Structure 1
Amino acid sequence: MSLKRASIIIILILLIDQVSKVYIKTHFELGEDFPVVSWFHIAFIENDGMAWGAKLSDFFTFISDKSSKLILTLFRIVAVIGIGFWLVDVTKKKKSKTLIFAISIIFAGALGNIIDSVLYGLLFSDSHMQVATFLPEDGGYAGVFHGKVVDMLHFPIWNGVLPEWLPFIGGKYFSFFDPVFNVADVAISTGIGILIVFNKKAFKDAPKTETPHSE
């Protein structure tokens, strides 16, 4: 797969991700939940930290929430730059299409969430108890690098009390699937999943062409 085709994939994922986030941000209040079907909801939340809403300040108490957010955003930028160089390298070396595709969607997802973290604080007003305004006259809800990642995809497939006969967890309330995520998260998870499941195919070296021996 060429770098041009990989770029098209990245642009398409970024467009879907950002259009969905801008729509949610400008049509939903924070915490609003719209059930599409019983097992799929549009639920608007904002993620201020890492996966599952964790923050660096949760693990390192000497770091403030604001510093934690800045460090995380800068780390994400460095990481996506590294992934970008990796993508260029594997396309130049004509590695497998599986590897190039996986890296491309991981890059697109990481970049999508970085756009939120870097710019959304400047571009939007706060969503608490109101629908956010794009480019508000009195400024956004946070400075550069301190924006929050917009999440909206929720799949509450099943919830209830587990059977008593199950060891350790029997009789306890259980809910699947609680996390709320976005298109960028799906791209990152899918890319990582491809690299794990199709590891041998992804990292298989291209067949070497034999040079004819002169008689």
Structure 2
Amino acid sequence: MVSSLAVRRASRWQDSVRLLLLIDAAAKPPAEGETPPASTVGVVHTQVRLQKLDFWVRYPDYLAFELMNEFEAAPDETGLLALASDILESEEPDLRRFPMLRHKFGAFEELDDALAPLVERGLLRKTQILGRTGQKRVVEHVYFLLDRGREVAGTLVQDAPALEWYLNRTRLVVALVDGLGGTQIKNRQYLLSDYADTPWRQYIAPITEQARARLRQLKAATVVPMTDVDQEAS
């Protein structure tokens, strides 16, 4: 369990930039019949999906574990194992981790403060879909990426090269589960007992050493085919 006294916190600016890049990577064109705000270039449906994608950006060791799951399902995709290795054989799991609390539906953090600057600057719009008439329960959050938001997201790395990691990582996370909804991603994350067994309102603990041990096992069991150059040399 992660002690609340030892938790690293991102700045509001870091949270805003990370979420803008994540929404830019995850946004899809508006669906037929959908009536988004003017200048909308993409839409992300459900807060659950956004939170679960954000979790993998903020916990590189959990992302590496998921990459290894994908590799075991498709052993020919050795690039997945290489990506997991790049993460786990570096200091990234410690340097890039920004812990999240576990709530009823898994990893969670209030997003309003981080999204507010994006809305205020005309980069993003968000809305809530309520339940049946007479109910006040929110059944879905919807995030609309505006043309200005895509423009800013596209120039961030040019203006601040240090943000390239976030650009690459948000795209990787989205590509990993492209087409899956928030509940499907949540169910995949719950397969790890370290995540699922975290008590409510406690920070989700890292699994770095567990992931590194699994990586060593997979590497030891993986036979890398010889290339033509290797065969000639032998």
Q: Decide which structure has the larger Cα Rg and report it.
A: 1
Please confirm whether the aligned pair reaches a TM-score higher than 0.5, indicating the same fold.
no
Name the one with the larger helix percent: 2
Determine which structure has greater relative contact order: mean sequence separation of CA pairs < 8 Å that are 6+ residues apart, divided by chain length: 2
Q: TM-score, normalised by structure 1?
A: 0.30
Q: TM-score, normalised by structure 2?
A: 0.29
